[in-house]
Structures are given as C-alpha cells and as structure tokens.
C-alpha cells in the first residue's frame, strides 16, 4: 500500500453520508488518539450490499502517513500464502462477544483459513453465498473470530520472508465465533487490477 491510502470494507464506506467528514486512526492501539482526515473515498463499483460481494473500498489521506505500510498479496496468490490451513491474525477494535460491549483497545486473534467449499457448506443453509471474491477463516469449534464493527480490518498472512502481507479485509459473518460458521473476508488477490488503477 502507498503511504496515503487506507483499505477497508465497502459496507463501512457506504455507511458514511456523502457530506460526512471521515477520520482514521493510524498506528494506534487505543481509540484515545488523534484522528487523520480523509480526502477521498472510493467504493468498488461492483459492491453488492445484499451479498457483500466486492466488499472493498479505499480511503485517500489528505497527506502521506509516517506509519509503515504493508504489501498487498500478489494477483491470484501464486505462492499460496492464503491457502486453507494457513494461520492469520485478524485485528479489530469492537465487540468482544456477540452482542457484547466494544473494546477501547486494539485486539487480535489467530484463526486458520478454511476452504471455499467448507465455508459454502457452512453458510449455504443460512442463505448466504460464498463467492470467489471471499476468503473464510475460523476454528471448527468457534470461540475465536472477528465480531460486530470489526469490518474493514486487516487480514494478513505471513510471507516466506517472515513479513506480513495483506490478503484480505474483514467483511461479514453470522454472529461471532459460532461453531462451524467461519468469518468471511474480502479476498484481495482478486482485486489487483482494481487496486492498481486507483492506488496512484
């Protein structure tokens, strides 16, 4: 990523009114920090608010950030960095349990990536469709997951060089950490052309 761009979920961006100022917190582990203003918001044109397919947006900062950036996964993930079984550490601020209370401190949890087939089998009976633009992660027994209002947060994987690579963004789920219902994230390896077009 470039120093003046933030990647997030489209449904977070579209929840903000056209004339509403947007701020982000950079490099923070507690919400009591100074915010940074946003100059531009770009929502993926294929975003479907009903299915949350193409759940991706970009925020351009008014000026470059001094914080470290993170590389985005390569097109179609040729190294298989986001393959089923790979562990990812998902990060978020908000509720610590289903319908629970928000956290003021940044939290993280490690969960394994699961196959598209496994995720589809789990979610199909509930009327939810898993597309190729989505990636799922979670434990079969549940207990660990992102939760309400964590949307747009990072979904990193580890490169062979032991550096973090951004492979996704928190998108949606049924409840939080329910057994057999992995959380769903936007699969960034499907969006290389779109990101290249806008990240200038």
Model confidence at 30, pLDDT cuts 50, 70, 90, reads: low
Cα angle vertex 57, ends 73, 68, to 5°? 50
Q: Provide the pLDDT for residue 162.
A: 93
Determine whether 151 is an active site residue: yes
The answer to whether residues 64 and 81 belong to one domain is no
Tell me which of 53, 55, 77, 150 is the catalytic residue. Answer: 55
Global pTM exceeds 0.95: no
Q: Provide the pLDDT for residue 15.
A: 74
Please give the distance of CA 11 from its chain centroid, rounded to a whole number: 11
Q: Which of 135, 131, 127, 106 is nearest to 174 (CA)?
A: 127
Tell me which of 128, 145, 150, 151 is the catalytic residue. Answer: 151
Q: Reduced to 3 states, what is the DSSP secondary structure of residue 45?
A: coil
Q: Provide the pLDDT for residue 99.
A: 82
Domain span at residue 43 reads 5-69+191-198
The answer to whether residues 50 and 63 belong to one domain is yes
The answer to whether residues 117 and 95 belong to one domain is yes
The answer to whether residues 116 and 154 belong to one domain is yes
User: Residue 23's domain is classified under what CATH number?
Assistant: 2.40.10.10
Determine whether 11 is an active site residue: yes
The answer to whether residues 31 and 90 belong to one domain is no
Over 90: is that where the pLDDT of 123 sits? Answer: yes
Segment 151-169, tens digit of pLDDT: 999 999 999 999 999 999 9
The answer to whether residues 131 and 37 belong to one domain is no
Q: Are 186 and 8 in contact (CB under 8 A)?
A: no
The answer to whether residues 167 and 98 belong to one domain is yes
The answer to whether residues 86 and 176 belong to one domain is yes
Please give the distance of CA 37 from its chain centroid, rounded to a whole number: 21
The answer to whether residues 79 and 159 belong to one domain is yes
C-alpha–C-alpha distance, residues 177 and 13, integer Å: 24
Work out how many domains the chain is built from and give that number.
2
Torsion sign, CA atoms 125, 119, 196, 89: positive
Q: Are 180 and 122 in contact (CB under 8 A)?
A: yes
Model confidence at 38, pLDDT cuts 50, 70, 90, reads: confident
The answer to whether residues 53 and 104 belong to one domain is no
The residue among 130 and 18 whose pLDDT is bigger is 130
Determine whether 37 is an active site residue: no
Task: Give strand ranges (E) for the chain.
Answer: 5-8, 23-24, 36-43, 57-61, 71-72, 87-92, 107-114, 134-137, 154-158, 164-172, 183-187
Give CA separation, 20 vs 14, 17, 188, in Å.
Answer: 11, 5, 27
C-alpha–C-alpha distance, residues 147 and 27, integer Å: 21
Q: Provide the pLDDT for residue 166.
A: 97
The answer to whether residues 182 and 85 belong to one domain is yes
The residues pairing with 108 across neighbouring beta strands, listed in sequence order, are 91
Q: Provide the pLDDT for residue 28.
A: 66
The answer to whether residues 88 and 24 belong to one domain is no
Q: Provide the pLDDT for residue 103.
A: 82
Q: Provide the pLDDT for residue 105.
A: 83
Over 70: is that where the pLDDT of 35 sits? Answer: no
Model confidence at 24, pLDDT cuts 50, 70, 90, reads: low
Tell me which of 11, 123, 128, 150 is the catalytic residue. Answer: 11
Cα angle vertex 185, ends 66, 177, to 5°? 110
Q: Are 82 and 157 in contact (CB under 8 A)?
A: yes
Q: What share of the chain is helix, strand, coil (3-state, %, to 5)?
A: 10, 30, 60
């Amino acid at each position: 990523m470039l120093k003046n761009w933030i990647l997030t979920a489209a449904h977070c961006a579209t929840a903000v009114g056209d004339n509403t100022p947007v701020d982000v917190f950079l490099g923070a582990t507690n919400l009591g920090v100074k915010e940074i203003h946003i100059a531009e918001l770009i929502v993926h044109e294929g975003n479907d608010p009903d299915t949350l397919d193409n759940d991706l947006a970009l925020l351009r900062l008014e000026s470059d950030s001094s914080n470290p950036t993170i590389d985005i996964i390569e097109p179609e993930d040729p190294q298989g960095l986001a393959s089923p079984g790979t562990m990812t550490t998902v990060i978020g601020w908000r509720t610590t349990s289903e319908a629970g209370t928000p956290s003021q401190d940044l939290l993280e949890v490690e969960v394994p990536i699961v196959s598209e087939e496994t995720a589809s089998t789990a979610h199909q009976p509930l009327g939810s469709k898993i597309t190729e633009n989505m990636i799922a992660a979670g434990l079969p027994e549940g207990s660990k997951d992102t939760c309400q209002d964590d949307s747009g947060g990072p979904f990193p994987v580890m490169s062979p060089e032991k550096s973090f690579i951004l492979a996704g963004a928190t998108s949606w789920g049924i409840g939080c950490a329910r057994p057999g219902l992995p959380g769903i994230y936007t699969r960034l390896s499907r969006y290389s052309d779109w990101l290249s077009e806008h990240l200038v």
